[in-house]
Structure 1
Amino acid sequence: MTVLIIGGSGLLGTELVRQAPSSDGSPAATYHSRPGDPARAAWHHLDLRAPLRLEQLLDAVVPTALINATSGGADWAVTAEGGVRLALAAAERGIRLVHVSSDAVFSGASRTHYDESCLPDPLTRSDTAGVFHLAGPDALSRHRQGELIARRDGLDPARLPSARRRDTGLPDGIDVRLDCRATQRRLTTRLRGARSFLSAADPA
């Protein structure tokens, strides 16, 4: 199985590359400005604004799975259009795609529930990286998500420190949810919430 990590030289991508050898061998990974450690991955230059280069890369590497961990910040051509190109190219080749994005799409300043008709209103322009995030009805706090991950990995969830975001004074929404029913009606892929895919009993 060949895994291609898009954005392997970034913060998240670097950690994915670091952990990959413990699973199915060294992955392939992409970079835009500077490649990472050559001992950990086979590095390939990629600009998601260049569709032909993307297709050539996928045909050369022939990955079994793609992990999109890239972000162009406020550059819409990379952050949004690049992700669309990647998804279309993966679908055409039957490659499984895992798209990782920020959940910082909506500020939560004026409302709690959002749907696909709502325009993003992030606190910072770079937060538009989360435009493809599908929270769905399975809303949970980050602390609860940490507990699920700990249980899945056989760790003690009680050791996780907890606090209330409202006590920090940070200017951000405390409860922000995306109603993605319109998207779900158009997808053939089953969307799973965090409680499902972090459960050891989940077959997928």
Structure 2
Amino acid sequence: MRLLVAGGGGLLGREVVRRARAAGHEVTATFRDRPIGVGGHRLDIRDRAAVAALVAAVRPEVIVNAAYRQADWAATADGGMHVAAAAAASRARLVHVSSDAIFSGRADEYDETAVPDPITPYGAAKAAAEVAVRGLVVDAAVVRTSLIIGAGESVIERQVRAIATGERGGVLFADDIRCPVHVADLAGAVLELAAVARPGVHNVAGADAISRHRLGVLIARRDGLDPAALPVALRAGSGLPGALAVRLNCAVTQKALVTRLRGAEEFLAA
């Protein structure tokens, strides 16, 4: 399989690239700022012409778009549209990685049929990208996921270690609920969806809906740190933007996957 991974320098992108190459696939990966070595191409997906030119040169069978920037509408929304347009022009399959940030948290849970109702600029950008992707690439696979955890490298894991060791201050919320997913599980699912055309929305998140504080406790225990050093608070009433609880129901997608989507209680076990 000839694969192009946009956002190949990120946590998920790196794992997708590593696994795809280990499986013998021909992989080209893009990065925006930090070079990623052999097979890496600097690309700003906000530049529609540059995206089109690279896709035309690589001629991928499948494009995985794992690129985003939370505070950058053009990168997340416009960039997603540019990748989708290039995929359509080259007749490449597309796996687009979205986020649970597209939801308000007003529903008890969200399955693959749930309609986005974002309440933050990032969530709105991700929702806009989904609209562009599904409009431009009829057989695109849209992967909605949650907090990505992986081998100590994620932002959340670094934050927890810094708080637990006193390197920085902060609190972890007991009422901020998500479904954390291990990067290896997410990458495995993405590559399964890349290998065979499976159009539509796919929820790919962890099996456990847990709070940020509980997630921090699990990370601290795994890393040999004291969970009691993690201050706990409530996000409700804090004035911080975003949903409180977003639970992704992955039952339908899980039935179609070989990759098992583990819960954080399992993959962060000491």
Per-residue deviation at 1:121?
Answer: 1.4
Distance 2:35 2:62 in 1: 20
Aligned to 1:11: 11
1: distance between equivalents of 2:89 and 2:246? 39
CA distance in 1, matches of 2:20, 2:209: 34
Residues 137-174 of structure 1, C-alpha deviations (whole Å, 9 max, x = no match):
xxxx948x88xx6xx99xxxxxxxx8662694774215
Identity percentage over the alignment?
34
Measured against aligned partners, the alpha-carbon deviations of 1:102-145 in whole angstroms (never above 9, x if no partner) come to 2222241x4447854x64114xx55556423676xxxxx948x8
Report the TM-score when normalising by structure 1: 0.63
The one-letter amino acid of 1:173's match is A
Q: Does the CA-based 8 Å contact 1:66-1:96 persist in structure 2?
A: yes
Task: Give the 3 Å change call, closer, same or farther, for CA 142–176 of structure 1 in structure 2.
Answer: closer
**1: CA distance between counterparts of 2:27 and 2:208?**
37
Counterpart-to-counterpart distance in 2, 1:142 and 1:84 = 27
| Structure 2 unaligned blocks of 5 or more | 131-141, 145-177, 190-206, 215-232, 236-243, 260-270
- Residue by residue over 1:41-69, the C-alpha shift from the partner in whole angstroms, topping out at 9 and shown as x without a partner, is x1111111111111110111111111111
Shift >3 Å, 4+ stretches: 110-116, 125-130, 166-171, 174-177
Say if 2:6 and 2:66, in contact at 8 Å, map to a contact too. yes
What is the alpha-carbon distance in structure 2 between the residues aligned to residue 94 and residue 102 of structure 1? Answer: 25
1:27 maps to which residue? 27
State how far apart, in whole Å, the 2-side matches of 1:134 and 1:10 are. 16
Greater relative contact order structure (CA < 8 Å, 6+ sep): 2
Instruction: Give the match for residue 210 of structure 2.
Output: 165
Give, as a single letter, the amino acid of the residue that structure 2 aligns with 1:121.
I
Tell me the distance in 2 between the aligned counterparts of 1:7 and 1:119: 25
Q: Which has the higher strand share?
A: 2
Find the aligned partners of 1:3 and 1:75 in 2 and give their Cα distance: 26
The alignment status of 1:97 with 2:102, answered yes or no, reads no
Q: How does 1:1-204 map to 2 (within 5 A)?
A: 1-38=1-38, 42-108=39-105, 110-112=106-108, 116=115, 119-122=117-120, 126-128=122-124, 130-131=126-127, 132=130, 142=179, 165=210, 168=214, 171=235, 172-173=244-245, 175=247, 193-199=252-258
Look up the match of 2:137: none
Kindly indicate whether the alpha-carbon contact (under 8 Å) linking 1:31 and 1:44 is maintained by their aligned counterparts in 2: yes
Is there any run of 5+ residues in structure 1 with no aligned partner, and where?
Answer: 136-140, 154-161, 178-191
Letter in 2 for 1:96: R
Question: Scaled by the length of structure 2, what TM-score is found?
Answer: 0.50
CA distance in structure 1 between the partners assigned to 2:126 and 2:46 by the alignment: 18
CA RMSD of aligned residues (A): 3.6
